[in-house]
Amino acid sequence: MAKVIELNKSITDSNDRDAQKLREELKQKGVFLINLMSSPGSGKTTLLSSTIEDLKDKVNIAVLEADIDSDVDAVKIEKLGAKSVQVHTDGMCHMDAGMTKRGLEGMDLTGIKLAFLENVGNLICPAEFDTGAHKNVMILSVPEGDDKPLKYPLMFSMSDVLLITKTDAKPYFDFDIEACKERVLRLNPKIKIFPVSAETKEGMDAWEAWLLENLF
């Protein structure tokens, strides 16, 4: 047992009312909004691209890309034919409900049934701020390791869905999917877990069926 020192902080949560309001407004418009979170490089954009390819003939999709800088992700998404807006957070490490609302106001949502907010790549701060999304979805990729639920419990606790991605890379990494599932379910017994590979498309059907079932 290592020596452990606890440090304290205070959290403000003035954001919650704005989030609730945005959630209701979007529902009235028939737009189902997903907040997609993960650490940098876990493959959010690749997963989204693959999902859009598979579903674009069934449902109109829009994507709000949040990044500190660059527009590489929005450009990729636009090429697939989905609507996309890039939001720059000016160094901020997460999106909140006000930022999400302003981003969504930057595009015409007429006819859109499914919208994704691709949150800033960060396994910590985005979990603390309600964005106004209807469901929170997080990604953990195989190369990141199966110990992440132990180290970043909050995001695993507040997510509705966990996508374990890059499962095609499993032969090269020491990642125990069953042990990871157990750790996550101990934190959050209601979470749905889909192991997927955007590369080989393995498991993508179950994730996409979940999306279609949840539309308004």
Which parts of this chain interact with its own copies (CB under 8 A)? 1-9, 11, 39-41, 65, 67-72, 74-75, 78, 84-93, 99, 102-103, 106-107, 120-125, 128, 141, 143-145, 147-148, 150-154, 166, 169, 172-173
What is d(CA 209, CA 213) in angstroms, rounded to the nearest whole number? 6
What is d(CA 189, CA 207) in angstroms, rounded to the nearest whole number? 18
Cβ-based nearer residue to its own copies, 67 or 208: 67
Q: In a 3-state reduction of DSSP, which class is residue 140?
A: strand
CB of 129 to its own copies, least distance (A): 11
CB of 141 to its own copies, least distance (A): 7
170: its two tokens: 């499993």
CB of 199 to its own copies, least distance (A): 11
Cβ-based nearer residue to its own copies, 152 or 210: 152
Cβ-based nearer residue to its own copies, 98 or 214: 98
CB of 110 to its own copies, least distance (A): 16
Left, alpha or beta for 91 (phi > 0: left; psi -120 to 50: alpha)?
left
Task: Answer yes or no: are the C-beta atoms of 194 and 139 closer than 8 Å.
Answer: no
CB of 117 to its own copies, least distance (A): 13
Cβ-based nearer residue to its own copies, 143 or 203: 143
* The dihedral formed by the CA atoms of 152, 4, 11 and 86, expressed in degrees to the nearest 10: -30
What is d(CA 170, CA 73) in angstroms, rounded to the nearest whole number? 25
